Amino acid sequence: MPRLNKIFRNLIVLLFLMMANHTKGQNVLYDFVELESKTSSTEAFLKEIEDQKGIIFSFSNKLCFEDEVTLSKQSASVREILNELFINCPSNFLVRGNKIIIEPYTGIPGKYVVRGFIRDSKSKESLIQANVYDPEQLLGTVSNNFGFYSISLPSGFLQLSCSYVGYESQDIIINLQSDTVIHFNLKSSADLAEVAVVRSKVPNKVKSTRTGTIDVPIEQIKNVPVFLGEVDIVKSIQLLPGIQSGGEGLSELYVRGGGPDQNLVLMDDVPVYNVGHLLGFFSIFNADAVNHVSVVKGGFPARYGGRLSSVVDIRMYDGNREKHKGVASIGILSSRIAFEGPISKDKSSFSMSFRRTYLDLFTSLLQFDEVDKSRFYFYDFNSKFNFRLSDNDRLFFSAYAGKDQYGLQYNEQVVEIGQADVGTQAQSFKTFDESEVGWKNYVFSSRWNHIFGNKMFSNLTLSYSDYRFFIQQKLNYQTDGAWSVGNQNYYSGIRDYSAKIDFDYLPSPNHYLRFGANLTAHSFYPGIDVLFQEISSGEPIDTTFGGNKLYRPELRMYLEDDFNLSDKIKVNIGGHFSLFQTESKHYWSAEPRLSARFLVDDNLSFKAAYSHMTQYMHLLRTASVAMPTDLWLPVSDAIKPMRAQQAALGIEYEFANGFSLSLEGYYKIFKDILSYKESAGYFDFSSNWEDKLTSGNGVSQGIEILLHKKTGDLSGWMGYTYSKSVNQFDELNNGNEFPADFDRTHDLSIYALYKISNRVDLSGTWTFGTGNPITLPETKYYAPDLPTAEKPFNSNYNQFISERNGYRMPNFHRLDVGVNFKKETNYGSRMWSFGVMNTYGRQNPFFLYFSDTETETGEVQRSLKQFSLFPFPIPYARFTIRF
């Protein structure tokens, strides 16, 4: 019997603690009160609350009671009302059932730190930029790129809430009396039968200082209908305002007047120098491996640097720490598979994905009996391993490998070896000439997270990045009866070794400090040609031509603080410092960054930003699309760094049903941007690469509107951009201004995803854009080789161009639609995806060209024609299983 009594007493104590500390609904401080008036005495307000809610107040006579108090609102929680009643004499509220004891603070009120990680409840995957906040005191913070948060709060009873787009919010009541670790494990809305959407004071995008920044839910990206059913993160980003593609179907980004080399693309904090497969028609990012995508177009925080136009920050999955899961998919162009799971449950996990095309397999079958054969393929592989060494330490290892290769086999030859004896035949074999063209990316990184105390988080990253493109050719030929083979290998690229340290320090809810440094050793390969000739009757000959490797160190440091000046005004201020060494010079840059937000109310804010950016490397383009001959090159003694300054003003508004509206105007100035001279080109070998270039300035300005809905049965966005971008070079276009290569006055994109049922969803995109600028000759005239009136047999013609980019292609518009059919199975789920790209068969121009035709009378008529890459509807199908 005594043992039963002891157990019973323990259960009563446990139940009381749960009621007092962890149950929101039974803590009377959080009961909702509707007052008769906003103005009365302190004593009258307390009496009204007692009568309405059955609460008993007990208080000290040392408290300050006022004869007249005007509250900010009539409807609020008991705690909110008490905070206002005793704002001039801070007090602590102790709850004992339905009794509230009001005690004056003795000395300075205590503050304690609550910290932890925010994760998906099932996979334990980190949730990036999730909100943690006290809705009554309007104190909050966000989780960093590893899901870590830290917030300092006053002692006593308080409500702590956590929210993230696409997840059910989680609220807890705690009696904070010491530093506390709380991990939030949020449930995905896809796992919930019904989710009630309640408006609350959330430190959301309206309250953020960030301008020109968009976080795109990865589930929305996966449902965008794309070319041949290949889920493409970059093509989804192109649907956002202020971001354009280089041409139909291409995966390049042109942001606010900048070129594709002016975008900093990060894969788990490591820069990637080429993001395209298949000459840029697909991106290198496998959506099955991506956890979070953030795009920054303006108001750059100080932690980012090295590019002028944008930052695309892509975070890969850590891996499920609870159970093993996978996904496999097969489509018209490629197949992919991804697998993740725990290595040691809740301590370590892994994530792997692989994708490969099989066009080369089809072409091999079709060309089985052919002498001349061609093949093309690309693949990419992602892997990530993470280990929880302790509550304060985590270790990550990541790797990426991707390659494109196009090959030709042609010119079959029979080669005889040696001299045949009398009555015997000479030995012979068949050989072919071969050529290979391609490029590849390799990225490796290791990261160590460590938590110092309760308020500081650090991340140390060591990384290696290697981008290389290559041209390989093998030729067989005979000279004076001797057979020989020649191999020519051309390659160029960039290789980085980098060490980076970042710190997040949260001294109080009003400050979020970030600081760090990055040291990178760049190795540039500006085009190296290796010739190897092997002659059957002599010694092999090995010769190397081309530029030497260029070694260039780069140092970057930054400091930024996100802080509140008042309840209405929040500021992000910082500085970014960089140093870059050339042959005999040291270029440096001190770049101020500033963003500010004025909060009108919980749903409306005004924002402003200024940023200064510097770029020490550039891409020499040989065509309007990505080609293997494109060169990454650093600044030099003769070539200055490119610089840009940008100012922006914006409005953020959130209204009912999960919609958000942003309006932003920007003005951007470019300095020392590069272009080829009119008299030079890539294949001009009479001078070195520096002499082929000229520098100039540019201006880009515009207005962007984004209407975004991230949750619900109907989700998606509509983005519109009105912009103008012009360049001015002293040595181009007679020194006059001209439109930038991808200046587009109007750009409109609409994406919608409608969930018809749990098994069927429908998606579609419609895009419209003003035609890109183009340079066209106005006159073609005869120019003989010799000054004679007679027309020679071999005549030459010149073309007169009066203005660079003086014409525009026809306007672009296209509709893509897709539908997914899902079904739950005993092993997981399966899904069929069908869709059509360019549904109504719009013939959008890929490029324009002149065509000459001769009439019956012998006259030559010249006409301007267009080439359309996808002039007809293109269907796709894909089958996916999850297990």
Its sign, for the CA torsion 189, 192, 197, 202, is negative
Residues near 237 by beta carbon (within 8 Å), at least 6 away in sequence:
216, 243, 253, 293, 295, 312
Rounded to whole angstroms, the Cα distance separating 354 from 197 reads: 38
Instruction: Please tell me the distance from the alpha carbon of residue 160 to that of residue 112, in angstroms, as a whole number.
Output: 13
Burial class for 661, CB neighbours closer than 10 Å (0-12, 13-18, 19+): middle
Query: What sign does the dihedral 627-628-630-635 (CA atoms) show?
Result: positive
For position 11, what pLDDT does the model report?
41
Max CA distance (Å), the chain: 129
Cα 128 to chain centroid distance, Å, stands at 13
Q: Is 318 left (phi over 0), alpha (psi -120 to 50) or beta?
A: alpha
Measure the CA–CA gap between 348 and 318, rounded to whole angstroms. Answer: 9
Q: How many helices, marked H, and strands, marked E, lie in the chain? A: 6, 56
Q: Return the pLDDT at 796.
A: 60
Q: How far apart are CA 641 and CA 507, in angstroms?
A: 37
Considering only CA atoms, give the Rg of the chain: 33
> Which residues, 6+ apart, have CB-to-CB distance to 9 below 8 Å?
none
Which residue in 724, 680, 677 sits closest to 696, CA to CA?
A: 677
Structure tokens at 879: 């089958």
Q: 556-585: buried (b, 16+ CB within 10 Å) or exposed (e) per residue? A: bbbbbbbbbeeeeebebbbebbbebbbeee
Burial of 261 (0-12, 13-18, 19+ CB in 10 A): buried
- Cα(613)–Cα(664) distance, integer angstroms: 19
List C-alpha distances in Å: 825 to 193, 244, 415. 19, 40, 59
- Give the Cα separation of 838 and 872 in Å (integer): 7
The backbone torsions φ and ψ at residue 510, rounded to the nearest 5 degrees and listed phi first, read: -90, -5
Q: Residue 548 has which token pair?
A: 């030497």
How far, in Å, CA of 583 to CA of 588, rounded?
Answer: 14
Cα 11 from Cα 30, distance rounded (Å): 25
Residue 425 is predicted with a pLDDT of 60
> Backbone dihedral region of 279: left (phi > 0), alpha (psi from -120 to 50 degrees) or beta?
left
Place of tokens 């550039």: 618
Nearest to 593 by CA among 307, 295, 210, 299: 299
Identify the pLDDT of residue 519: 96
Q: What DSSP designation does 167 have?
A: B
Using DSSP's 3-state secondary structure scheme, residue 189 falls into helix
CA distances from 668 to 433, 700, 726, 813 (A): 51, 5, 11, 27
**pLDDT (0 to 100) of residue 766:** 92
Question: How do beta strands 99-104 and 373-390 pair?
Answer: unpaired
Per-residue pLDDT tens over the stretch 626-674: 554 567 889 988 889 999 999 999 998 888 667 888 999 999 999 998 8
For the stretch 568-587, pLDDT in tens is 888 999 999 999 999 888 99
Give the span between the Cα atoms of 402 and 343, in whole angstroms: 25
Instruction: Answer whether 255's CB lies under 8 Å from 261's CB.
Output: no
Tell me how far apart the alpha carbons of residues 126 and 148 are, in angstroms, rounded to a whole number: 8
Q: Is 417 strand, coil or helix?
A: strand
Question: What's the confidence (pLDDT) of residue 7?
Answer: 42
The pLDDT of residue 595 is: 93
- Annotate 524-546 with b (16+ C-beta within 10 A) or e (fewer): bbbbbeeeebeeeeeeeeeeeee
Under-70 pLDDT residues of the chain: 1-27, 61-62, 90, 105-110, 136, 190-207, 227-229, 246-249, 279-280, 366-369, 371, 415-429, 478-482, 528-547, 621-630, 656-657, 678-689, 780-800, 858, 860
Helix axes 78-85, 42-53, angle to 10 degrees: 170
| pLDDT score recorded for residue 545 | 57
